Structure 1
């Protein structure tokens, strides 16, 4: 190994330096600008590495480096200010594909698919999305496109050909989102499309798994509240599992390794674990392959492209780690960790993992955004490729840890707490930051832009994975069913009171923030616990549970409305009294604290009627309400300028009503 690996990684060096004199915290742009380096990926044999890098003028470029000498690079293509590259995928060692989204069209989809040689030549526009004319990103170089917006990139192939896999969507007459899909092979030079298999397929397929030959083998469907997994065998389809999506014990196919081994996610002692499933015998192993008490399995594999052999699994528990099966990768990880001891170092292989001369390293921590580097196996040297947010100094970020507190009914609630940098003189103003979903895992031990921005402004940030959140066992998830405004809400108030007992939070200066479900919880928290929460910031928030079922502009599918949501949220008829009791809109007159609201005018997940109706209702009784709208935004802030503006507005609001409050 090199005796001085950090000379290749100046952006990582700051974590190992002693604390410098306190400088002013970075402004909002440093936290919320588009990543300056993103979508970093190795070519199949590891001879090249691609990245999307921000360039002067607000445009991005797809850049390909020679991994033997990173100073040798080619800018394959530059976007205009109206487009963004959202994905990069290697077709083979000499050809690369990429997906472009038009920023001027906010709704989901409108994804363009293109491919080019690594010298920038032979650029082909494969899928037209919603472009009706040639765009600046391609200019006069573009060749005629073939496929329309009912197709999208699905995956690469692994045979060295110029083909990729694309998914063709099929719609019903009701829903905005596709009801089903089918996979095809698409040649990225000729735009020739051909089938991946013959014959019929299961209904309502929403996800596929392919084998070593890039042929679909497993189909995952959702029909009338049932999740169904099917396996293609001898030209026909047989069911692997069929159960109620929420209530039955079932397994979820995760990935194939080789021709006959399927890895599935299934219950083990109340938590999701990873199991092997033998497709020859159609039986699941009795004991889990990976199981961590207290956490549901959440991970991704590293596979050898030639054999499909499983080499390792990246997993998330309280923090990220990798379980390596192959001794070569274990040794590589140990050397990288020795060179970079202050970060979690996630190591990614090329497709030909064992033979490739290099590995891709993503180094990060709770205080450092992702930094990318190439590790050369022969020399042990690390060479930097840049970072997502280079203006962030880890020494100015707060410490972030996972804790567990007791809710009022005795349930353990996990929560990530980010403390402001520097030594505290006493309790500080605090923000309970509520994740959306709500049936997802909210917090991880990583660099969280929102939490660190607030912590850099002096706030203790508490992020509970309240009941109903996933990732912490089935019972924790189920405990949140039909608990909007009830026990789920109480968990947030209990988090604030727990933070006060720890001596972190000033009980007179606690605010509540969140988006989507987090926006709903912010409004309900201000109404339900006015003595606890001094002010609130909500964006893209649900303001009435009933509106989720009745708003025609919503993108919720009939499947979700008639099955999943009725189990998790409630039934509009049977639970009408609960909906009314826990409706911020119907109780708007009770909200007296300062409130900042924001909404995207093109939001289809939580349509604008939610925000407009609540704004009108609350302002009749509360003059201290501010409402911001962004005309070119959907459900959340996709546009850099809007993200930065919103967080500047939130910073000023919290400074006035929380930090300076007496």
Structure 2
């Protein structure tokens, strides 16, 4: 059975307060995933899903619960404006715990509010478990008072008895706490207290917190391990590795899985015996870190793929039952990546998804006894994969010899003609990376006839710490060189018209687009900055909040603190070098890249005699949510690109 958005809107309201050969309608790209984050209940009878429903001028995320495979709604929980269900887990066959977050823009991950609530699958018995409004909303509010801390769901009891482990990170102070909370009674018990702020806990299935990992005030990695004999948390002092991040225990708690890198090379996936410390490598790749992992119903990884290129799974045991099942199911979906998401506790029911470069994803429930699968829903119903473009993996050498990878999205119906090209740098820049899967921006641009180049420049994630750190203090220099080298490579390969190239990006991608226009004015015929940062001194300026110390330390690593160097690498001071037409887009409420960045660059370009096109949405933040604003932005983007590098554009 396939679930359609239009069919459920009324129900939830009653429960809760060279052009391509066929142009895909703009409206098909405007909305984010309509259905996401499915979680199968322990008994396999229900699924919880985040559904984005229309509400006035925007779509709001609502957590909804359904029977499976019938997809009959049983309940829902709708939060306050701009609040979203960030993480949620079943703590019993009928009860979920939910960590709340707040949206600050479509180009920024929702920020956790630190609140944790619980709800039954029919929407009843809602309970406030942790947060700054405990006194007002919790039945244990008088007992515990308000939490002056952020709460984070760290794990669940394997007994499925309604208990959840919540980490507590004080607004002021240096400790990380871990509580065992009964979601039915809203009572809590302290089980761990460590003298470092913002640590994440790794729990065994029996409920024992075993590892705690994070960073200190100087942005240095720290790890602790709990010792049963002494009952103490011991800091892991001897570091014969650059990265060591335990994150998953086997069902019997005797082994754990970790990301591991000795010298900063791409992260390996390793399995380690808790008692003996014997470590074995499950997956390693010379070029890329682990991009994704598949798990059995017993919480053991059985396959993984590299973060570089098209996902190609390597099975740890080709003859294992899960590997055989995965291969059999994958054969039914050629050209797609099939992911095992969740299992019922008895292992009989499996929730899986299929997706690709052209397909945003569809979700299925598979019964291992009947060997039948029911389709539940598609992530973006309006997207027809047959109308989408191919995303080809690419690799080339930068001018200093460094091997770089990325993707080129090829517009349909171009034939032998060289299409115009948009260079699309990703945000971050340190950590994020572009992958092969469906990319809304790339597919929108390809549907308008543009080739789209995405380069995972030095500093990107997915290649290990050495590659990540190679981008430190290189924002305006070697990172930009990488993008320029990728552009020239694509042109030399005959993949794009070298006379019709534009740069467009969001956040750091907006910064990079302006730097490309400043550094190579003859190569880039236009540039678009969406919620970008354009003044590095302003970016590094303290914001007077609890993360200032960590932020200042991080930015010192990323961009340095030499004012002359920051000026040399800031688009606002290079405005006179930008000869191409510029389109600046920003949200007036942006807290990540404050609107002062856009105003400053606009003023500098105007003073240089090249005033930019301008679109300011006063009530938006780091990326637009309002449907009308998103539509207007993409309409203006399409018109701007068409004017300067599209068919019929005047020669530059």
TM-score by length of 2: 0.86
In structure 2, relative to structure 1, the CA distance for the partners of 1:633 and 1:351 (3 Å cut) is: farther
Does 2:518 match 1:527?
yes
**Cα offset, 1:122, TM superposition:** 1.8
Residue in structure 2 matched with residue 189 of structure 1 by the alignment = 184
**Cα offset, 1:112, TM superposition:** 4.8
Asked if the contact 1:515–1:539 (Cα under 8 Å) also holds between the matched residues in 2, the reply is yes
Structure 1: how far apart are the matches of 2:628 and 2:176?
A: 35
Secondary structure, in 3 states, of the residue corresponding to 1:506?
Answer: coil
Structure 2: how far apart are the matches of 1:615 and 1:90?
A: 49
Residue in structure 1 matched with residue 46 of structure 2 by the alignment = 48
Structure 2: how far apart are the matches of 1:632 and 1:149?
A: 29
Match of 1:384 among 360, 371, 375: 375
**Cα offset, 1:219, TM superposition:** 0.9
Structure 1: how far apart are the matches of 2:631 and 2:81?
A: 17
Residue in structure 1 matched with residue 116 of structure 2 by the alignment = 113
Structure 2: how far apart are the matches of 1:118 and 1:423?
A: 50
Does 2:93 match 1:93?
yes
Residue in structure 2 matched with residue 396 of structure 1 by the alignment = 387
Match of 2:232 among 233, 236, 245: 236
Secondary structure, in 3 states, of the residue corresponding to 2:331?
Answer: helix
Asked if the contact 2:282–2:316 (Cα under 8 Å) also holds between the matched residues in 1, the reply is no
Secondary structure, in 3 states, of the residue corresponding to 1:339?
Answer: coil
Asked if the contact 1:365–1:446 (Cα under 8 Å) also holds between the matched residues in 2, the reply is yes
Residue in structure 1 matched with residue 456 of structure 2 by the alignment = 465
Does 2:315 match 1:292?
no
**Cα offset, 1:216, TM superposition:** 1.7
Residue in structure 2 matched with residue 210 of structure 1 by the alignment = 203
Match of 1:123 among 109, 122, 126: 126
Asked if the contact 2:510–2:529 (Cα under 8 Å) also holds between the matched residues in 1, the reply is yes
Residue in structure 1 matched with residue 400 of structure 2 by the alignment = 409
Asked if the contact 1:227–1:242 (Cα under 8 Å) also holds between the matched residues in 2, the reply is no
Secondary structure, in 3 states, of the residue corresponding to 2:122?
Answer: coil
Residue in structure 2 matched with residue 661 of structure 1 by the alignment = 649
Between stretches 489-498 and 151-160, larger displacement belongs to 151-160
Match of 2:572 among 562, 576, 585: 585
Secondary structure, in 3 states, of the residue corresponding to 1:490?
Answer: helix
Output aligned runs, 1:180-579, within 5 Å. 181-197=176-192, 200-223=193-216, 224-234=218-228, 235-241=231-237, 249-257=242-250, 258-267=252-261, 270-281=265-276, 283=277, 285=279, 288-300=281-293, 302=295, 304=297, 309-310=300-301, 313=304, 316-320=307-311, 322=313, 327-350=320-343, 352=345, 355-552=346-543, 557-562=548-553, 564-570=554-560, 572-573=561-562, 576-579=563-566
Residue in structure 1 matched with residue 160 of structure 2 by the alignment = 160
Structure 1: state its 5+ residue gaps.
1-7, 12-20, 135-141, 174-178
Asked if the contact 1:517–1:542 (Cα under 8 Å) also holds between the matched residues in 2, the reply is yes
**Cα offset, 1:511, TM superposition:** 0.4
Residue in structure 2 matched with residue 62 of structure 1 by the alignment = 63
* 1:83-130 residue CA offsets vs partner (Å, 9 max, x unmatched): 543333212111123344456999833365332222333222334567
In structure 2, relative to structure 1, the CA distance for the partners of 1:500 and 1:304 (3 Å cut) is: same
Structure 2: how far apart are the matches of 1:80 and 1:477?
A: 38
Residue in structure 1 matched with residue 13 of structure 2 by the alignment = none
Structure 1: how far apart are the matches of 2:306 and 2:416?
A: 37
In structure 2, relative to structure 1, the CA distance for the partners of 1:225 and 1:118 (3 Å cut) is: closer
Aligned length: 617
**Cα offset, 1:491, TM superposition:** 1.1
Asked if the contact 2:247–2:256 (Cα under 8 Å) also holds between the matched residues in 1, the reply is yes
Between stretches 311-320 and 117-126, larger displacement belongs to 311-320
Between stretches 120-129 and 650-659, larger displacement belongs to 120-129
Structure 2: how far apart are the matches of 1:290 and 1:276?
A: 10
Secondary structure, in 3 states, of the residue corresponding to 1:184?
Answer: strand
* 1:452-481 residue CA offsets vs partner (Å, 9 max, x unmatched): 111111110000011222222444334323
Structure 2: how far apart are the matches of 1:429 and 1:534?
A: 11
Structure 1: how far apart are the matches of 2:491 and 2:308?
A: 26
Residue in structure 1 matched with residue 32 of structure 2 by the alignment = 34
Between stretches 623-632 and 364-373, larger displacement belongs to 623-632
Output aligned runs, 1:598-617, within 5 Å. 598-617=585-604
Secondary structure, in 3 states, of the residue corresponding to 1:277?
Answer: strand
In structure 2, relative to structure 1, the CA distance for the partners of 1:48 and 1:315 (3 Å cut) is: farther
Structure 1: how far apart are the matches of 2:61 and 2:552?
A: 39
In structure 2, relative to structure 1, the CA distance for the partners of 1:23 and 1:310 (3 Å cut) is: closer
Asked if the contact 1:540–1:606 (Cα under 8 Å) also holds between the matched residues in 2, the reply is yes
Structure 1: how far apart are the matches of 2:225 and 2:454?
A: 40
**Cα offset, 1:45, TM superposition:** 3.0
Structure 2: how far apart are the matches of 1:391 and 1:545?
A: 40
TM-score by length of 1: 0.85
Asked if the contact 1:265–1:275 (Cα under 8 Å) also holds between the matched residues in 2, the reply is yes
Structure 1: how far apart are the matches of 2:605 and 2:469?
A: 33
In structure 2, relative to structure 1, the CA distance for the partners of 1:192 and 1:50 (3 Å cut) is: same
Residue in structure 2 matched with residue 24 of structure 1 by the alignment = 23
In structure 2, relative to structure 1, the CA distance for the partners of 1:531 and 1:315 (3 Å cut) is: closer
Secondary structure, in 3 states, of the residue corresponding to 2:434?
Answer: coil
In structure 2, relative to structure 1, the CA distance for the partners of 1:187 and 1:131 (3 Å cut) is: closer
Match of 2:630 among 618, 643, 648: 643
Does 2:620 match 1:633?
yes
Secondary structure, in 3 states, of the residue corresponding to 2:222?
Answer: strand
Residue in structure 1 matched with residue 14 of structure 2 by the alignment = none
Residue in structure 2 matched with residue 3 of structure 1 by the alignment = none
Structure 2: how far apart are the matches of 1:638 and 1:528?
A: 32
Structure 2: how far apart are the matches of 1:508 and 1:484?
A: 26
Structure 1: how far apart are the matches of 2:288 and 2:620?
A: 35
In structure 2, relative to structure 1, the CA distance for the partners of 1:118 and 1:299 (3 Å cut) is: same
Structure 2: how far apart are the matches of 1:438 and 1:348?
A: 28
Secondary structure, in 3 states, of the residue corresponding to 1:30?
Answer: helix
Structure 2: how far apart are the matches of 1:583 and 1:309?
A: 47
Secondary structure, in 3 states, of the residue corresponding to 2:400?
Answer: coil
Asked if the contact 2:442–2:452 (Cα under 8 Å) also holds between the matched residues in 1, the reply is yes
Structure 1: how far apart are the matches of 2:310 and 2:210?
A: 33
Asked if the contact 2:88–2:98 (Cα under 8 Å) also holds between the matched residues in 1, the reply is yes
Asked if the contact 1:26–1:391 (Cα under 8 Å) also holds between the matched residues in 2, the reply is no
* 1:165-212 residue CA offsets vs partner (Å, 9 max, x unmatched): 222121348xxxxx6532212222221121224xx4242343111111
Asked if the contact 2:176–2:195 (Cα under 8 Å) also holds between the matched residues in 1, the reply is no
Structure 2: state its 5+ residue gaps.
5-19
Structure 2: how far apart are the matches of 1:231 and 1:47?
A: 37
Structure 1: how far apart are the matches of 2:518 and 2:439?
A: 28
